[in-house]
């Protein structure tokens, strides 16, 4: 090979290396990355353990969408058209003490209580029902542009989920949007955030179609921890829901928190039991 041919060949090889580096040499897929492996620098969520303190009866007709413990009283919001309601419940007996039925066309979703006012979302109706806590009478309807899934508050602002990876912070008086936080873990965005509860500076969220409750940092949106309720009814109450019952909606959904005692209540749609637990 003469000098000219050697020089030309060397330039060709160098050009190919540079082109490969720019167009995919650093692609994680080219380096053997597999689905489910971390795609960012967020730490993996820590497993959160808990102890079961008590197990109480729960109305199996309740398609539970929201659960709130407030002033030693349990409130529950239920869903499904022609079945949706707002309830005051004696959680120790499961007895419904007061019930407000929604219009038959509305599909009720999450509830929360802030400043003696109850807020109840609807799913795809773009309506938030606002009640006076004192008598559970509706005082107004509030427009909400997205789907309604879960709702809680941080003591000042309402926090709403819509089934995506987004949490919306809104002003309770006029529902002005103040902030949007995207939720993610070490594998990327986290979707299907459902019933919400604000506990100790974190947002706890049921993740629909899973057996998990997620602990979310409201500032970063990072999932800091995960509570596992797989086969909870079977393990804790010897109740084994079959596949059909689960497909019909008998899934984990409902978180309430008693800040005074540190008690946490968990249930599900159509569940026969309400679990009182304590975070370890």
Contact between residue 191 and residue 164 where contact means Cβ atoms under 8 Å apart: yes
Nearest-angstrom CA–CA distance, 86 and 73: 13
Q: Is the predicted pLDDT of residue 40 greater than 80, yes or no?
A: no
Instruction: Average the pLDDT over 138-150 and give the result.
Output: 97
What per-residue confidence (pLDDT) applies to 242? 57
Would strands 223-228 and 46-48 be described as parallel, antiparallel, or unpaired? parallel
- Higher local confidence (pLDDT), 10 or 86: 86
Would strands 73-78 and 184-185 be described as parallel, antiparallel, or unpaired? unpaired
pLDDT, tens digit, 9 for 90 and up, residues 146-185: 999 999 999 999 999 999 999 999 999 999 999 999 999 9
Contact between residue 123 and residue 100 where contact means Cβ atoms under 8 Å apart: no
What per-residue confidence (pLDDT) applies to 159? 98
Q: Is the predicted pLDDT of residue 63 greater than 60, yes or no?
A: yes
Nearest-angstrom CA–CA distance, 203 and 218: 6
What per-residue confidence (pLDDT) applies to 248? 65
Contact between residue 82 and residue 108 where contact means Cβ atoms under 8 Å apart: no
pLDDT, tens digit, 9 for 90 and up, residues 237-275: 667 665 656 666 678 999 999 999 999 999 999 999 999
Half-sphere exposure of residue 255, counting CA atoms within 13 Å on the CB side?
A: 27
Q: Is the predicted pLDDT of residue 13 greater than 50, yes or no?
A: no
End-to-end Cα distance, the chain? 74
What per-residue confidence (pLDDT) applies to 243? 60
The position carrying tokens 């689905």 is: 35
> From edge to edge, which strands make up the β-sheet containing 212-216?
46-48, 223-228, 212-216, 202-207, 193-199
Q: Is the predicted pLDDT of residue 4 greater than 60, yes or no?
A: no
Instruction: Average the pLDDT over 78-91 and give the result.
Output: 97
Q: Report percent pLDDT > 90 for the chain.
A: 75
pLDDT-based confidence at residue 42 (cuts at 50, 70, 90): confident
Token pair in block for residue 208: 């629909």
Q: What φ, ψ does residue 203 adopt, rounded to 5°?
A: -100, 120
What per-residue confidence (pLDDT) applies to 235? 76
Count CB-CB contacts under 10 A for residue 133. Answer: 17
User: How far is the CA of 216 from the CAs of 148, 237, 259, in angstroms?
Assistant: 19, 28, 18
Angle at 150 between CA 144 and CA 155, to 5 degrees: 90
What per-residue confidence (pLDDT) applies to 38? 53
**CATH T-level fold of 42-279:** Neuraminidase (2.120.10)
Q: Report percent pLDDT > 70 for the chain.
A: 81
Q: Is the predicted pLDDT of residue 1 greater than 90, yes or no?
A: no
| Chain centre distance of CA 50 | 18
| Full-model pTM | 0.83
Nearest-angstrom CA–CA distance, 186 and 214: 13
What per-residue confidence (pLDDT) applies to 3? 41
Instruction: Average the pLDDT over 229-235 and give the result.
Output: 82
Count CB-CB contacts under 10 A for residue 278. Answer: 12
User: How far is the CA of 162 from the CAs of 57, 145, 219, in angstroms?
Assistant: 29, 10, 18
pLDDT, tens digit, 9 for 90 and up, residues 200-226: 999 999 999 899 999 999 999 999 999
Contact between residue 149 and residue 161 where contact means Cβ atoms under 8 Å apart: yes
What per-residue confidence (pLDDT) applies to 34? 42
């Amino acid at each position: 090979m003469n000098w000219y041919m050697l020089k030309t060949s060397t330039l060709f090889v160098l050009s190919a290396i540079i082109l490969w580096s720019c167009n995919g040499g650093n692609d994680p897929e080219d380096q053997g990355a597999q689905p489910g492996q971390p795609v960012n620098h967020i730490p993996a969520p820590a497993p959160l353990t808990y102890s079961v303190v008590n197990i109480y009866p729960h109305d199996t007709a309740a398609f539970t969408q929201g659960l709130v413990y407030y002033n030693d009283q349990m409130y529950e919001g239920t869903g499904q058209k022609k079945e949706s309601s707002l309830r005051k419940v004696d959680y120790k007996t499961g007895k419904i003490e007061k019930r407000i039925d929604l219009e038959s066309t509305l599909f009720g979703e999450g509830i929360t209580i802030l400043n003696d006012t109850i807020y109840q979302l609807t799913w795809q109706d773009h309506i938030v029902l606002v009640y006076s806590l004192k008598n559970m009478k509706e005082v107004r309807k509030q427009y909400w542009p997205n789907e309604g899934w879960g709702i809680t508050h941080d003591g000042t602002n309402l926090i709403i989920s819509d089934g995506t990876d987004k949490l919306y912070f809104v002003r309770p008086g006029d529902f002005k949007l103040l902030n949007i936080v995207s939720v993610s873990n070490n594998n990327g965005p986290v979707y299907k955030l459902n019933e919400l509860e604000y506990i100790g500076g974190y947002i706890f969220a049921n993740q629909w179609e899973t057996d998990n409750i997620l602990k979310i940092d409201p500032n970063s949106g990072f999932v800091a921890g995960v509570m596992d309720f797989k086969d909870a009814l079977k393990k804790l109450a010897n109740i084994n829901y079959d596949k059909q019952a689960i497909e019909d909606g008998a899934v984990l959904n409902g978180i309430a928190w008693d800040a005074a005692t540190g008690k946490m209540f968990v249930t599900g749609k159509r569940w026969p039991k309400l679990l009182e637990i304590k975070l370890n």
